[in-house]
Structure 1
Amino acid sequence: MSDPGSGTSRAVTAWTYGLSFVAITACGVIVSGLLHDPEPELTTAPPTTTTTAAPVPEDYTYVTEPVTYPTTIPGCESVEPPGDDAGFLSFAGGDFGYDNPTYPWFSGPKAVAMTDAAVRALPGDADMIFASPRQSLLFGPILDPSFENDADRALFGGFTTAYATIRRGEDAGALSLSVRASTTPVPPCVAGRLDERRVLDDGTVVDVDDTWSETNGVRTVFRSAQAYAPDGSEISAHIDDTDSTTGDAVQSGHPPLTVDELVALVSIPELRVSAPVPPGTPTVPESCSSPSDSDPIDAATAARLDGVLAGIPVADLAVDSPLGELRPAGFDGAGLCQAVRVTTPGSESTLTVAVAAGQPRPSTTPDEAPTPATGSGFVETRELPDGTVIQQREYTLTTQGLAAGSVATTSVTRTVTVT
């Protein structure tokens, strides 16, 4: 792809883009993976395995900042002794989503309003690493695990969490924000759990901590702020000094946000569970994906492609957000994608645009073109004079439940892939 009105860029033609426009008719069933050939590993006999002795584990050391007790902590009338450090492992079950009736204060628009407020509150010289929405401080759905009793639910349940990697100058670190509605009282001050307790003008209690741990001699610095608001909101912000953007974790010794800046984040009024959602706030964007083997595509290229997409007419379709907001796909996707909801009556569907770099040139031989394994559909492949290959696919699947009186549902997927 080259910029309109310019000569072809050698840097761009060195890539192969796969640009897919996918419309999925929302008739109750969405099925993925049906157009792919079966993996050989799933259709052949398993290989013979041999048993070998387990490797001897390397020496492992984990050290935390020493705790002094008895001690005093600013803002605390009394300080309790540190308890034994213990971890817990939970396996989540049950339903979860943005409209979980167990947590009526939370919704998709509420998550977007909280995200917008958190992004605005970041310091002006601190940048989020270009990443998927879920890694750009988008608050996720509340996971609703099964708890044995109400006490466990009160302690561990009801959290929505947002993640991002923050870069500021030479320093970078992983930031997480969590919010929940709590009915438990403000906990006592415990030695080793906080460095200071602050009480804000509105009565919000904020515990702050600046500490470290060492794993095999490598020190990681952590900073946190935990707020307990009068309306029952429990809001926490955590950041470390680990830069993982290059693949190898590197500790700088300086988290990119200060303790005071974390306090400012947990004090944002829009993060309170009782804060109203501004009228017209959209819900969270549709999830999407691109080929997992894509070469990386940087933010500058994504912005250029956004401009191209924004100028493409979409046949008078009503969509919930305009095209031209490509983001990295998923947690590890190097390609870009965007999905929008089509709300035109009679054409309700999801329109997805995905861009991948470094893709192989598809076959143009009709006998080698992939065909659906089940259902009905067609695949057409043609080559343009300049070597561009266009593949068109349409796939229809009808399903019906086994219960008596169940209604058959049909899903239609149309895909155009340009390489």
Structure 2
Amino acid sequence: MTSSLTEALPSGISVDYAPRSQSFEFQPIDDYSNEDVGELPDGITADDLGGEARASGSLTRAGVTATLSVSVEESTRDVPPCTAGVLDERRRTDDGAVVDLNDTWSEYPGTDEQTVRTYTRSVDAWLPDGSVVRASMSSDVEQWPLTRDDMVTLALEPGLQTTAAVPPGTPSPAPACPSTYDDEGPYVKVTPDMVDAWNSALRSGWPGGVPGLEIDRNLASLEPADTFLSGACATFDLTGPTTTGAVGISISSDNALPVAPDPYDPQYSESLPELTMLADGSVEVITDDWYSSVPMNPTPDDPGGMERYLSVEVTHPSGYAVDVFARGTNPPPVQLLQAIASTPGLDGK
């Protein structure tokens, strides 16, 4: 669905650089129609529970930018009646699809008693296979990178239908990228060149992957953080003879060099971080702690329990910090996390 949406965009459109969660990546649709849901309350159907996939991103064309949001769901509901004042136009296609178009606006109070107006252009499509595709753009000016016909074309894209076959070899969505945003201080917004340079450093430093361990994807898979492009990060699954668990890499900017923690600080009652000054002026902090893990749906294979949290964070004089962390009952050795965190080229210079 992600590829179908981006490939269906008309020529001249650019997708603004953003985290994956804001770059038209759909997540799987939850299926509420199977037996695992159990008996639903009277008057509630699977349609009422949701079961939709959403994706959004920012588009620009000829200097005009707007946010595009798309949702896809499977529904057994009837197409609503065409009501004057609710929509601008209803179209019907030869194969039986029904498409509603509407341009509207809304206002709400802003600062300094100024009224803020938001413009919205939307298209809702009910397709013959039972799919419902909704696409909408919002902007603070009444200018659009997509025409109404462009929006209709997107909504009717076959690859967005819930019955469309998933191409063989399509990978599952990658785990969420941990945010590095700190709302108490400034940060440098990452650019494509910065992320490319960090991934290039990881490829050079780890050309053969992680020795002795299997990794579910390339170590050089950093991407913009989910919050405000505040850094770059990635999460991996590592397995080996004595190691299982998730490993993450996070790079952030504008960090002060850490100082030795107060051993009497209550937050360190269980484990005191280990701080080391490195030869280049960087500071390494190792945190080794245990925490309680309780899965939402415990199973015999995953009943929950105590898991270890191991982190190596190297903060450079440049203000860039590289945090490599692992969670699980058998995380990789701290020496591996230290080696990854100290990979040359990750210091932001």
Normalising by structure 1, we get a TM-score of: 0.61
What SS does the aligned partner of 1:311 have? helix
1:305 paired with 2:194, answer no
Q: 2:127 aligns with which of 229, 232, 238?
A: 229
Q: CA deviation at 1:348?
A: 2.7
Q: 2:275 aligns with which of 356, 372, 381?
A: 381
- Aligned equivalents of 1:272 and 1:173: distance in 2? 24
- Aligned equivalents of 2:69 and 2:256: distance in 1? 37
Deviations 1:282-324 (CA, angstroms, capped at 9, x unpaired):
1111123243224322232122222222333242332222233
Aligned residues with identical type, % of pairs:
32
- Assess, with a 3 A threshold, how the Cα gap between structure 1 residues 127 and 346 changes in structure 2: closer, same or farther: farther
Q: 2:224 aligns with which of 325, 328, 338?
A: 328
Q: CA deviation at 1:221?
A: 2.5
Q: CA deviation at 1:181?
A: 0.8
- Aligned equivalents of 1:284 and 1:368: distance in 2? 41
Query: Equivalent residues in 2 for 1:229-378 (5 A)?
Result: 229-240=127-138, 242=139, 251-293=140-182, 294-313=187-206, 314-316=209-211, 317-332=213-228, 334-344=230-240, 346-363=242-259, 365=260, 373=268
Deviations 1:56-108 (CA, angstroms, capped at 9, x unpaired):
xxxxxxxxxxxxxxxxxxxxxxxxxxxxxxxxxxxxxxxxxxxxxxxxxxxxx
- One-letter code of the match for 1:315? V
- Assess, with a 3 A threshold, how the Cα gap between structure 1 residues 374 and 233 changes in structure 2: closer, same or farther: farther
- Assess, with a 3 A threshold, how the Cα gap between structure 1 residues 183 and 412 changes in structure 2: closer, same or farther: same
- One-letter code of the match for 2:128? P
CA contact 2:181–2:227 (8 Å) conserved in 1: no
Task: Report how many residues are paired.
Answer: 292
- Assess, with a 3 A threshold, how the Cα gap between structure 1 residues 394 and 229 changes in structure 2: closer, same or farther: same
What SS does the aligned partner of 1:118 have? helix
Aligned twin of 1:175 = 68
What SS does the aligned partner of 2:25 have? coil
Aligned twin of 1:46 = none
Q: 1:220 aligns with which of 110, 118, 123?
A: 118
CA contact 2:261–2:272 (8 Å) conserved in 1: no
- One-letter code of the match for 1:136? S
- Assess, with a 3 A threshold, how the Cα gap between structure 1 residues 162 and 373 changes in structure 2: closer, same or farther: same
- One-letter code of the match for 2:277? E
- Aligned equivalents of 2:96 and 2:123: distance in 1? 15
- Aligned equivalents of 2:82 and 2:178: distance in 1? 45
Aligned twin of 2:333 = none
Q: CA deviation at 1:395?
A: 2.6
- One-letter code of the match for 2:9? L
What SS does the aligned partner of 2:273 have? strand
- Pick the structure with greater CA Rg: 1
- Aligned equivalents of 2:130 and 2:278: distance in 1? 62
Deviations 1:257-279 (CA, angstroms, capped at 9, x unpaired):
11111112111222111112122
CA contact 1:222–1:255 (8 Å) conserved in 2: no
| RMSD of aligned residue pairs (Cα, Å) | 3.3
Any stretches of 5+ residues in structure 1 without a counterpart? 1-113, 243-250
Aligned twin of 2:97 = 204
What SS does the aligned partner of 2:205 have? coil
CA contact 2:54–2:70 (8 Å) conserved in 1: yes
- Assess, with a 3 A threshold, how the Cα gap between structure 1 residues 351 and 156 changes in structure 2: closer, same or farther: closer
- Aligned equivalents of 1:192 and 1:310: distance in 2? 57
CA contact 1:369–1:379 (8 Å) conserved in 2: no
Q: 1:126 aligns with which of 5, 9, 13?
A: 13
Deviations 1:330-383 (CA, angstroms, capped at 9, x unpaired):
3446122111222446533212110100001112x47669897465x5633222
- Assess, with a 3 A threshold, how the Cα gap between structure 1 residues 288 and 269 changes in structure 2: closer, same or farther: same
- One-letter code of the match for 1:191? A
1:165 paired with 2:58, answer yes
Structure with the largest fraction of strand:
2
Query: Equivalent residues in 2 for 1:48-197 (5 A)?
Result: 114-140=1-27, 149-150=42-43, 154=47, 157-197=50-90
- Assess, with a 3 A threshold, how the Cα gap between structure 1 residues 231 and 304 changes in structure 2: closer, same or farther: same
- Aligned equivalents of 2:285 and 2:103: distance in 1? 55
CA contact 1:372–1:395 (8 Å) conserved in 2: no
- Aligned equivalents of 1:329 and 1:395: distance in 2? 25
CA contact 1:221–1:255 (8 Å) conserved in 2: no
- Assess, with a 3 A threshold, how the Cα gap between structure 1 residues 400 and 278 changes in structure 2: closer, same or farther: closer
Q: Relative CO higher for 1 or 2, CA cutoff 8 Å, sep ≥ 6? A: 1
Q: 2:305 aligns with which of 387, 405, 409?
A: 409
What SS does the aligned partner of 1:191 have? coil
